[in-house]
Amino acid sequence: MRTAAVAGIGQTRFAKNMGRTELDLAVEAIGAACSDAGVEPRTVDGFVSFHVEQVSEVDLVTTLGIDELRYMARTPSGGGGAASILGLAAMAVEHGTAEQVIVFRARNRSKAASYGSDPNQGGRPWAKSGSRLRDFRQWHHPFGVAAPAHEMALIGRRHMGVYGTRAEHFGMQAVAQRFHASRNPDAIMRDPITLDDWYAARPIAEPIRLVDCSLENDGAVALLVTTVERARDLQAGAIPVLGHVQLGAPIHTELSDFFATTAAYGEHDSGAVVAGRRLFGRAGITPADVDVAMVVEPFSLTVPLALEQYGFCGMGEGGPFIESGATRWPDGGLPVNTHGGSNGEAFVHGVNHLPEAVRQLRGTAVNQVEGAEVAFACGAITDPSGAVLLGVDR
Amino acid sequence: MTFSVPSPDAIPRPDPSGADAEFWSALRDGELRFERCAACGTLRHPPRPVCAHCGSRATEWVTSAGSGEVWSFTVIHAPTLPAFIDQVPYGAVVVRLDEGVFVVSNLLDCPVDELTVGDRVELVPTRVDDELTLPLFRRA
Ligand SMILES: [Zn+2]
């Protein structure tokens, strides 16, 4: 089987109220990824994105003048799919289904702006669900639990109750990421914050405070995935995909199932505990070999949960792991979200975390982890998600 | 901080069909009922067409004793749904019924900042109007 590699990365500016369509944003990011690699956009033969993506493959084929589209795939779910999309692209390349696959996500999330009537376009989907509930919302909304922040808060508080994790632990990750963002010219939030600022921040749904939350902004990100051999011939070189997994874990929007499934984490195998073992086993490495991690975090509390389940620390030790400074660049042993993440750089459903993993392995990151050779990236742990491992080309 | 149910004209309400409708219908009679596999006895919630444990489609309904523990809780501030915005901050809980299933709910009589995970609670079917009764809880 062939080995896939990232050959190009591209992104738009990230900002609020950019006033541009998702198609416009996607085309810019895809063009940037292609010119990073030095290929013509019309030679792209695959697209992978999220199930909620509003830019259609058909629009991209006609807009970019694609010669022959051989592969289209989408994955659930929101930020859960951020790493899975790269895995799906790698799989198509590994099996010879396609040669040059674009992974992308374009969002126009500004509250005031919307270019369509789909609940996933503009504003907050949960606020548009109406007063007659025919689906999973009937189990949450009558009790005033509707926003992802509400659901994540209930997940985070459970972790606190079981393991003694403190809300400040989540805050410390938020503070670390804002420090990372303060050095990143592409970041929306350039002012660093202290833990005192975290304490002073408005509570959203306790233990979540405003600065724990992902930003609401517009922007698009794209990556070009091809074979490692072809990537070596292209101008930016190859960042090989060492492994990828998906996991059909339960989702925060269905908490009865979420807690039924996660009730016994640590007692028997579930969720990313199993998927992580499969990921590292296939790649022939261990979490200790990872130099830098991109952990998609709609809210900062998902970072310790993900680090635990993927085996970077023991179950329940995610809070103290963060408190030790392990996730903070430059001194931490496992810097996490070195671009500033979703509360610092931008929220593009976590797909902006993937180019940062590539920059770290190219040695071009603003907050460069010295000698980084292996990068890990995972989707939001509170959704059906997945993870990838990337490495330097040897 | 006590919780009061939003007014009938404001509250987002289930508009269920099939097994979901049976769940809400039982609440109108003051009972919290869950689906139980008639073959192996495993409870499940929300309702599903098959038992995830043994694969049987044979299903019966069982009435919960209404006792459980606080599995998790939060205090919700703005932004939230319009029906609830007047009473922020308010508490929300996840309750694990002793039968082993989980529900999202609210506590009627207890400031959630006094709660801890594991606190005992009991069911209080709380009528909104003729159509809707909510499975709320109070501290046992
Ligand atoms: Zn059964």
- List, for residues A123-133, the tens digit of each pLDDT value: 677 777 777 88
Chain B residues with CB-CB distance to A248 below 8 A: none
Q: Does B21 touch chain A (CB under 8 A)?
A: no
pTM of the predicted model over 0.90: yes
Question: Who's near A115: CB < 8 A, 6+ residues apart?
Answer: A21, A22, A54, A108, A121, A122
The pLDDT of residue A100 is 98
Q: Looking at CA atoms only, how far is residue A102 from chain B in angstroms? A: 36
Higher-confidence residue of A252 and A270: namely A252
**Closest chain A residue by Cα to residue B135:** A143
- Percent of chain A predicted with pLDDT > 70: 94
Tell whether the torsion through CA atoms of A94, A96, A100 and A106 is positive or negative. Answer: negative
The pLDDT of residue A120 is 64
Q: Looking at CA atoms only, how far is residue A267 from chain B in angstroms? A: 16
SS3 content of chain B, % helix, strand, coil (to 5): 15, 35, 50
Residue A179 has pLDDT above 90, yes or no: yes
Nearest to residue A79, comparing CAs of A298, A345, A268, A269?
A298
Tens of pLDDT, residue by residue over B57-78, are 999 999 999 999 999 999 999 8
CB atoms B72 and A154 under 8 Å: yes
CB-CB contact of A78 with A383 (8 Å): yes
Helix (H, G, I), strand (E, B) or coil at A293: strand
Chosen for mutation from B2, B28, B73, B81 (greatest number of chain A CBs closer than 10 Å) is B81
Tens of pLDDT, residue by residue over A182-221, are 999 999 999 999 999 999 999 999 999 999 999 999 999 9
Domain spanning B65-140, CATH class: mainly beta
Q: Which two tokens stand for residue A152?
A: 């994540």
The pLDDT of residue A34 is 98
Over range A106-112, report the average pLDDT.
73
Cα-to-centroid distance, A382 and ligand 1 (Å): 27
Tens of pLDDT, residue by residue over A331-347, are 999 999 999 999 999 99
Neighbours of ion ligand 1 (CB under 5 A): B 37, 39-40, 42, 51, 53-54, 56
Nearest to residue A4, comparing CAs of A278, A292, A358?
A358
Burial zone of A269 (CB within 10 Å; 0-12 exposed, 13-18 middle, 19+ buried)? exposed
**Closest chain A residue by Cα to residue B106:** A143
CB pairs A-B closer than 8 Å: 123
The pLDDT of residue A114 is 45
pLDDT-derived band of residue A116, with 50, 70 and 90 as boundaries? low
Q: Does B18 touch chain A (CB under 8 A)?
A: no
The residue extents of the domains of chain B are: 18-63, 65-140
The pLDDT of residue B112 is 76
Nearest to residue B70, comparing CAs of B43, B92, B99, B45?
B92
- ipTM exceeds 0.95, yes or no: yes
Over range A12-41, report the average pLDDT.
96
The pLDDT of residue A128 is 72
CB atoms B15 and A138 under 8 Å: yes
Over range A14-31, report the average pLDDT.
94
Nearest to residue A214, comparing CAs of A303, A143, A286, A317?
A303
Q: Does B15 touch chain A (CB under 8 A)?
A: yes
Tens of pLDDT, residue by residue over A132-164, are 888 899 999 999 999 999 999 999 999 999 999
Query: What single-letter amino acid sits at A51?
Result: H
Question: Who's near A245: CB < 8 A, 6+ residues apart?
Answer: A87, A275, A276, A278, A279, A282, A386, A387
CATH superfamily of A4-111+218-391: Thiolase/Chalcone synthase (3.40.47.10)
Cα-to-centroid distance, B138 and ligand 1 (Å): 31
Cα-to-centroid distance, B55 and ligand 1 (Å): 6
pLDDT-derived band of residue A117, with 50, 70 and 90 as boundaries? low
Higher-confidence residue of A274 and A228: namely A228
Tens of pLDDT, residue by residue over A346-382, are 999 999 999 999 999 999 999 999 999 999 999 999 9
Average pLDDT, chain B: 94
Q: Which residue positions in chain B have pLDDT lower than 50?
A: none
Average pLDDT, chain A: 93
The residue extents of the domains of chain A are: 4-111+218-391
Chosen for mutation from A141, A143, A252 (greatest number of chain B CBs closer than 10 Å) is A143
Q: What DSSP designation does A300 have?
A: T
The pLDDT of residue A192 is 98
**Closest chain A residue by Cα to residue B116:** A161
CB atoms B90 and A144 under 8 Å: yes
The pLDDT of residue A394 is 87
Residue A265 has pLDDT above 60, yes or no: no
Q: Looking at CA atoms only, how far is residue B50 from chain A in angstroms? A: 15
pLDDT-derived band of residue A113, with 50, 70 and 90 as boundaries? very low
CB-CB contact of A106 with A220 (8 Å): yes
